Structure 1
Amino acid sequence: MSLSKADYVKSIFQAASGNFLEMYDFFIYGFYAQYIAKAFFPAHNQYISLMVTFSTFAAGFLMRPIGAIILGGYIDREGRRKGLMLTLAIMAIGTISIAIVPTYESIGLLAPLLVVLGRLLQGFSAGVEVGGASVYLSEIAPARHRGFFVAWQSSSLQLATMTAAGIGYLLNSVMMPDTIQAWGWRIPFFIGALIVPLLLVLRTTMRETDAFLAQRKHPEFSEIMRSMILNYRIIIVGALLISMTTVAFYLSEIYTPTFGRVVLHLSASDSLLTSFAVGLVALFAVPAMGALSDRIGRRPLLIAATILAMATSYPVLLWLVSNITFYHLVLTEIWFALLYAMYNGAAMVTLTEIMPARVRTVSLAFAFSVAVALFGGFTPMISTWLIHTTADKASPGYWLTFAALCGICATLMLPRSKNLASTDTAAQVGSSVPNFSD
């Protein structure tokens, strides 16, 4: 089916809407971690309280691989449109739960249990959201612009970061810290809950992709599992490929507010403005890099970004902690955002191109979810642990360096196919396991 430019814009907006809600929720959880810790996970030691809060944050990521298999299989069997509507509905429950659950002082242990349950549901649905949206965008995109289209999925995450940071900045401007601690931190979660009906309406009008409709037979769950086992190598490589992009994102955007306030002792407003600036840069940089990958190939960008990350991650953070100012924090995080944009602009579309066509959503979502569960979701907790253990405020740079090493290893193992940007790449890898020996 031939789509107009307006149809393409609408389809991108519909597909990316769920990613917006997912990242909006993750950002405000990361930013208000201190307040959430006191409300639901009180402890005499701030480090322990914060670690438990980030552990709950990470627990949601452990549900992602399960959600990727179950919901990803549903999407590959029933259709992109139906699946993306279902994931958004489940995701909304996680956002609403944080907003309405009473504090530990009010209901005791039931409070943290309900929060954990909400995070698990959120992680379950998020396990397929990025993968489902990426596959949808790759299948509706003109072949020569696939990288540019898929990149808008990641750009929606930046818009969510900017929105959440803007709301947080406004609250910090009009409310006293005690008021925010008492109940003000819940307002952004309520706003997220109010956005849900609009996003559900948007998704109900999505069109199904031609690629899915063209399949004569859609796989049953047993076939999906068998295909994933047969294609285990490409899934492992895909997970390693995503490690760099997920750590760079969660380090530069999700962990930044806590890092700025708790570690560098800058103001909450400074941390929020930094997150807003990082989101603004990445909002346009990711699609630009996606378009560049359409022109020069995926592999050159992947290699360049990982080498730069390995060479600069720790030195840049060391420079920041040795010269702590708001402007230095902004420059540091923007540098990480540019590394993320360069890598992500090529990585996400590569993932859609190397996965088998009949089980593309579940395979992509599972690889992505494993990477986020093992790398991204634990980034705030690992960063907090590294700083506490080593007494080195720049030590999170080691974590990004390690993720970049995983990324370049995965890039070198990718199947050869005209720089991973040929117009028929997806078809080439649709029915067979790529050759990893070259």
Structure 2
Amino acid sequence: MKSPSLSSAAATSSAARTKPISTRTLIVATTIGNAFEFFDLTVYSFFAVLLGKLFFPAASAQQQLLLSVGTFGVGFIARPIGGVMFGLLADRFGRVAAMNLTLLTMALGTGLIGLTPTYAQIGMTAPIIVLIARLLQGFSAGGEVGVATTLLAERASAQRRGFVTSWQFASQGAAALAGSLVGFLLSHFLDTASLESWGWRVPFLAGVLIAPLGLYLRARIGEEEHGARNAAPSGSGVLKTVFARDGKLLLLAFLLVIGGTSAHFIVLYYMSTYAIKVLHLPMDAAMWCGILSGAVMLVVSPIGGLWSDRFGRKRVTFISRLLLTLLILPGFYAIAHSPTVTTLYLVVCGLAALHSINAGATGPLLPEMFPRSTRATGLSISYAAGVSIFGGFAQFVVTWLIGATGNAAAPAWYVIACGVASLIALAFITDRTRDEI
């Protein structure tokens, strides 16, 4: 029996099904949940040092940062569970119904962070609440990206699938840009006392307002009559099929994801923390790392998608991943040799451009790997697992590595190792650029 929430969502979708929508409406409605998630991740990442001080005051400065980014990473533990749950819902009851539930769960977790009292106010209960909020966010995000990417790929024509799907990753850039701008404005115009007492809460609470807008837009796109809801007899049937029939595809997709997610979380998110803690630059200057890299991803990801439509997914994915893997270590050495704002910004923009081209091409490649009947589940599981292990804990791992080895280039080696794994996986993936899926 269908749950009331799923039945209600399906009914709403049925009403919207007969109304044709533009590609622009489809893209905005589908990517808004992903943008919501990455807006919150950006804000949390850029306030990691401050949040460590507010919620883990008993620790040293280094331990505060480790605990803060560790809590950031803990949310990713719930991603694979969310990937399974929401992927099954999408394959059984429809893509839009599942995405609506992820959006509501995400809003709950984000609002909870914005309202949580600090350690000074309620003691150990404060970090525990933040931990629960991050688990809720991770659970919802585990399904959001895979299901939304699946919907975009299925609704687009084979000739434009790369371009349309690439906006899922361009939305991550837009969210990083917006989150960075908010963080920059707050840190620039508020004094330290105001920022610590209430300023940091503003972006979390403001982000919750995205949820009702997202639900309204998604009600307009509706489910397809021939959607995958009846493709499998049960959720257990979908899972059995995914692991028994598509096990090799899961592994290849997982390896492909870890190259992109390691670069994403280092280049777009960690570089601001790196600028503050390693280069000892002021917060205002560090925030511009996120602003610039977010702007680059917003503009360049669709270019990667367009190139993948024209030249093939595998070719564009391979070249961009190889170049990023080869150039990230020289980039970090350049920053270490000349630790100036100009050098930092040039390196960040260059690496972000390569990563964005790769993301734009990889975005459509992933859903093309899986059969339609299990696509949302397979993509959600592989994507959530890869991001959870190699993305969510990337900042924690490289922060620890820098402290343990004293090597400021440790983040580059992390991205290189993950990039090599992705390049190996890519050799075994079939290019379906021009196939109907």
The TM-score with structure 1 as length reference comes to 0.92
The corresponding residue for 1:98 is: 113
Question: In the TM superposition, what is the alpha-carbon distance from 1:195 to its structure 2 partner?
Answer: 2.8
Q: How far did 1:263 drift?
A: 1.4
The answer as to 2:290 corresponding to 1:275 is: yes
Q: What is the CA–CA distance in structure 2 between the aligned matches of 1:347 and 1:376, rounded to whole Å?
A: 16
Counterpart mapping for 1:274-293 below 5 A: 274-293=289-308
Partner of 1:209: 224
**Counterpart in the other structure of 2:234:** 220
Asked if the contact 1:80–1:209 (Cα under 8 Å) also holds between the matched residues in 2, the reply is no
Is 1:414 matched with 2:429?
yes
1:142 aligned residue: 157
Contact 1:248 / 1:339 at 8 angstroms: preserved in 2?
no
94-103 or 259-268, larger mean C-alpha shift = 259-268
Give 3-state SS (helix, strand or coil) of 1:255's partner. Answer: helix
Counterpart among 107, 113, 122 of residue 128 in structure 2:
113
1:4-43 alignment, distance < 5 Å? 7-43=22-58
| 2:418 matched residue in structure 1 | 403
Match of 1:76 in 2: 91
- Residues 1:336 and 2:336 aligned together: no
How many residue pairs get aligned? The number is 420
Q: Deviations over 1:284-316 (max 9, x none)?
A: 111111110011111111221222122211111
Structure 1 residue 38: Cα displacement: 1.5
In the alignment, the residues of structure 1 paired with residue 231 and residue 61 of structure 2 have an alpha-carbon distance, to the nearest angstrom, of 55
Superposed structure 1 runs of 4+ greater than 6 Å apart: 1-4
Alpha-carbon distance in 1 for matches of 2:409, 2:109? 33
Which of 35, 43, 63 is the aligned partner of 1:48? 63
Correspondent of 1:176 among 191, 194, 201: 191
Q: Which residue of 1 aligns with 2:7?
A: none
CA offsets, 1:222-272, max 9 Å, x none?
111111211111101101001111111111111122111111111211122
- Shift of the alpha carbon at 1:219? 4.0
Opposite residue 232 of structure 1, the aligned amino acid is G
**Cα offsets for 1:377-433 (capped at 9, x unmatched):** 111111101111111112110001011101101101113xxx431223x3xxxxxxx
Query: Which residue number in structure 2 is paired with residue 429 of structure 1?
Result: none
In 2, the alpha carbon distance for the partners of 1:170 and 1:55 equals: 26
3-state SS in 1 of match to 2:280:
coil
**Which whole-Å CA distance do the structure 1 matches of 2:46 and 2:83 have between them?**
26
Q: Determine helix, strand or coil for the equivalent of 2:221.
A: coil
Give the 3 Å change call, closer, same or farther, for CA 391–423 of structure 1 in structure 2: same
Secondary structure of the residue aligned to 1:423 is coil
Amino acid at match of 1:207: G
Offset at residue 3 of structure 1 (A):
8.9
Hey, what does 2:341 align to over in structure 1?
326
For residues 88 and 51 of structure 1, the distance between their equivalents in structure 2, rounded to whole angstroms, comes to 29
Q: Deviation per CA, 1:58-81: give whole Å up to 9, x if none.
A: 111111000010111011111011
TM value normalised by structure 2: 0.93
SS of equivalent to 1:413: coil
Change (3 A) 1:211 1:350: farther
1:190-215, Cα deviation, whole Å (9 max, x unpaired): 111233322222223232135516x7
Residue 76 of structure 2 is aligned with which of 53, 57, 61?
61
Per-residue Cα deviation, 1:84-106 (whole angstroms, up to 9, x for no partner) = 10000001111101100111111
Q: Are 1:313 and 2:328 matched, yes or no?
A: yes
2:108 aligned partner, one-letter code: I
Separation in 2, partners of 1:72, 1:216: 14
Residues 310 and 400 in structure 1, CA contact (< 8 A), matched pair in contact too? yes
Q: For the structure 1 residues 169 and 224, does the alpha-carbon distance in structure 2 shift closer, same or farther, using more than 3 Å as the test?
A: same
Distance 1:239 1:189 in 2: 30
Matched to 1:409, the amino acid is I
Question: Among 343, 352, 370, which residue is 2:367 paired with?
Answer: 352
Q: In the TM superposition, what whole-angstrom CA distance separates every residue of 1:120-160 from its partner, at most 9, and x where no partner exists?
A: 01000000111111011001101111111110000111111
Tell me which residue corresponds to 2:142: 127
Identity %: 32
Aligned-pair distance for 1:217? Answer: 3.9
Give structure 1 stretches of 5+ with no counterpart. 427-438
Instruction: Give the Cα separation in 2 of the matches to 1:34 and 1:183.
Output: 15
State the match for 1:434 in structure 2: none
8 Å Cα contact 1:139-1:210 kept in structure 2: no
Secondary structure at 1:144 match in 2: coil
Cα deviation for residue 43 of structure 1 reads 2.8
The change in CA–CA distance for 1:2 and 1:346 in structure 2 (over 3 A counts) is farther
Is the Cα contact below 8 Å between 1:219 and 1:358 reproduced in 2? no
Partner of residue 192, structure 1:
207
Answer whether contact 1:144 1:423 (CA < 8 A) is retained.
no
Greater Cα shift, 217-226 or 282-291: 217-226
User: Gaps spanning 5+ residues in structure 2: where?
Assistant: 1-16
Task: After superposing the two structures, state which structure 1 stretch, 269-278 or 9-18, moved more.
Answer: 269-278
Question: Which deviates further from its counterpart, 330-339 or 14-23?
Answer: 330-339
Deviation string, structure 1 residues 5-64 (Cα, Å, up to 9, x no partner): x61110110000001110000000000111111121223311111111111111111110
Kindly provide the CA deviation profile for residues 338-380 of structure 1, in whole angstroms up to 9, marking residues without a partner as x: 1211211121211100112101101101000011011111111
- Alpha-carbon distance between aligned partners in 2 of 1:173 and 1:49, rounded to the nearest angstrom: 23
